Structure 1
Amino acid sequence: MKNIRTGVIGTGSMGQNHARVYSEISNLVGVADLNEGQGKKVANRFGVKWHKNFEDLLLDVDAVSIAVPTSLHLQIAKKVLLSGVHVLVEKPLSNSIEEASEIVKLAAKTDLTLAVGHVERHNPVVNYAKKAIDGGKWGEIITLTSKRVSNFPERITDVGVLFDLCIHDIDISNYLSNSKVNSVYALGGKKRAPHEDHINLCLSYDSGLISICETNWLTPNKVRKLEITTSTHYIELDYQSQSIELFKSKYINVNKSNLYSSNLQLETIKVPINQEEPLKLELADFLQSTVSNKTPLVTGEEALEVVRISAHALESLMNKKVIKT
């Protein structure tokens, strides 16, 4: 992959991290940003060229990441794809179903790789959970309960917490459930931000699985966790520490006439996880897809489905009702 010429459009919080990883795993040749100070700072850090106009960057690259405000994704992705360049679009793919669909259709028409930056999909704990669930090791999945909370990010201005944070957990729910969402119900509101900054989302799947997502920008501490209830286990995943704990239990010495004295034997298993940076795995997967013609882990179609569910969640939030999908 060292021979693949890469670039980054947008050098803000996420974009500069894309540049860092590309500089390690590929031939990073340039970055583009309208903000000359920020763009040059990132370019100088990695010894590459800064472009004010991203279209100039497209002349020198095989693949790029788009890490600009969500409202600009369609405008820039169209020009990238029509220039014959493979693209990874940071999540969300768009903030509207129509625009996300247009990006997906254009990628198919141009026969170029479109990957989407749902980075938690590349977290090693998710990879382990997916294999355990699909292999039947954890029994039947009954509920997924996600908590993704932190304080307000000044960098986000064009979308609320649903499209910025909760969208991660919607994607993971879809990925682990192997099923389709049939109804969406959301409650929440805004306390500090121009858009919603706290939301509780309930997703119902055709399989019977229920996924609950609690997300906000109101807490002083950062939490990124998933709890899974199954027919045989209770599982806790921590995205930040990349750790998994499994819990099983059984009653011993049960006396039906004195349940108070019955003993519950709890077994806790800590799963060994090989910790790796999810963003590095994501970008390596994207670049490998461009040269091997394989499907990236997060496809445009999957990202479009997440946008569709998120749009229904916003509709539910505004109208205070369940939305059938």
Structure 2
Amino acid sequence: MTAPLRAGLIGLGHMGRHHARVLGQLPDVELVAAADPSAEAPGRGSVTVDVVGSVPELLDRGLDLCVVATPTVTHEEIGLQLAEAGVPTLIEKPLAHDSKAAQKLVEAFERNGVVGCVGHIERFNPALRELRRRLAEGQLGEVYQIVTRRQGPFPARIADAGVILDLATHDIDLTRWVAGSLYTSVSARTAHRSGREHEDLVSAVGTLENGVVVTHLVNWLSPLKERITAVTGEKGCLVADTVSADLTFFANGTQTVEWARVASFRGVTEGDVTRYAFPKPEPLVTELSGFVAAVRGTPGDTVTMTEALRTVKVAELLAESASAGRTVEVPAPLPAQRSAMDVAAGVAR
């Protein structure tokens, strides 16, 4: 029988407590301790964990893996310590506060031959996974457009980032993953409406290498909580709601519209609407299970640090575009980087 992996956790805030709960439930993992100098032990349900005050104290426990769920500005320092200690690590998204720091993390984990993953949890939402599967099977035919809407009230947990780095990175990552194609250009506009240093609203458009046009609407100014990804193609539209984990297909109509005036106005006719039934496991359980599999050296579904670095770079270009008031080009990755991203995402080119 394989011994359980000894897991550590750094950060016991909102997301960290969820990681503690799930790590405590995984059958082949033992959560030995968490590091957080300011937190109390996260007793939530049946989850309890020993709390230490620093990363070195946590490393002294002898870890097989670690999850980092701390504010983004701390990811670089903590991640470098774990890489040098040889501890396989999953860092919550975004990977780092800027692309230079993200690049340092990528290089450190590669240099030390250590597994490094990033917690882009939307990839593990069952609605988006089902959507991606159906796209791969050709349900929509040629894909024309991907639209994401991510809006809701201001999250009190955020103090060190604006909506681009905190929220839009979800949409950048999931769009590239769903489409199997990289961004080539982006254009964005932002606004500051809540009196904070960082932007609280962004509206962005972009293009992908495969010609798909993308649109992202992101804010934390709305009383309406919305997490929608809509993919439109030649055969209809698939809409994933990641709050409810529902996926709905709006098919193009096959019935002709005989009333000429209506036909000329409506263009594509409306067909059947289908909401699919499929298994809906908790995304965090799926994500951490894939990370554990990767640590054990078996095939695991993970987001690599190279992919996450690319997401941070695109987020920076959104901010640059908004500041300059113009469209900016997204540099193509080096061949080795492209290969690593494509293999990780299961994309055949």
Q: TM-score range by the shorter chain?
A: over 0.9
Cross-structure match for 2:336: none
Distance 1:52 1:292, change over 3 A: same
Distance 2:158 2:215 in 1: 24
Task: Pick which of 264-273 and 3-12 moved more.
Answer: 264-273
Secondary structure at the residue paired with 2:34? strand
Using the TM superposition, give the Cα deviation of residue 251 of structure 1 relative to its aligned residue in structure 2, in angstroms: 5.6
Distance 2:260 2:201 in 1: 46
Secondary structure at the residue paired with 2:23? helix
Task: Pick which of 128-137 and 89-98 moved more.
Answer: 128-137
Cross-structure match for 1:274: 279
2:69 to 61, 67, 70: 67
Cross-structure match for 1:179: 181
Q: Flag structure 1 segments of 5+ consecutive residues without an equivalent.
A: none
Give aligned-pair identity as a percent: 28
Q: How does 1:1-325 map to 2 (within 5 A)?
A: 3-25=4-26, 26-35=29-38, 38-42=39-43, 46-60=47-61, 61-192=63-194, 193-250=196-253, 252-255=255-258, 257=260, 259=262, 264=269, 266-294=271-299, 296-325=301-330
Distance 1:312 1:265, change over 3 A: closer
The answer to whether the 8 Å contact 1:124/1:278 transfers is yes
Using the TM superposition, give the Cα deviation of residue 250 of structure 1 relative to its aligned residue in structure 2, in angstroms: 2.5
The answer to whether the 8 Å contact 1:74/1:94 transfers is yes
Using the TM superposition, give the Cα deviation of residue 273 of structure 1 relative to its aligned residue in structure 2, in angstroms: 2.0
- The letter of the residue matching 1:40 is A
Using the TM superposition, give the Cα deviation of residue 266 of structure 1 relative to its aligned residue in structure 2, in angstroms: 2.0
Distance 1:22 1:221 in 2: 31
Distance 2:173 2:100 in 1: 19
- The letter of the residue matching 2:206 is L
1:187-242 alpha-carbon deviations (Å, 9 max, x no partner): 11111132000001112112110111100010112111111111111111100111
CA RMSD in angstroms comes to 2.1
Distance 1:295 1:99, change over 3 A: farther
Question: Normalization by structure 1: what TM-score?
Answer: 0.94
1:88-120 alpha-carbon deviations (Å, 9 max, x no partner): 000000121111011011111111111101000
The answer to whether the 8 Å contact 2:293/2:300 transfers is no
Using the TM superposition, give the Cα deviation of residue 41 of structure 1 relative to its aligned residue in structure 2, in angstroms: 4.0
Q: Flag structure 2 segments of 5+ consecutive residues without an equivalent.
A: 331-349
Distance 2:312 2:270 in 1: 43
Q: What is the total number of aligned residue pairs between the two structures?
A: 323
The answer to whether the 8 Å contact 2:143/2:233 transfers is yes
Question: Normalization by structure 2: what TM-score?
Answer: 0.87
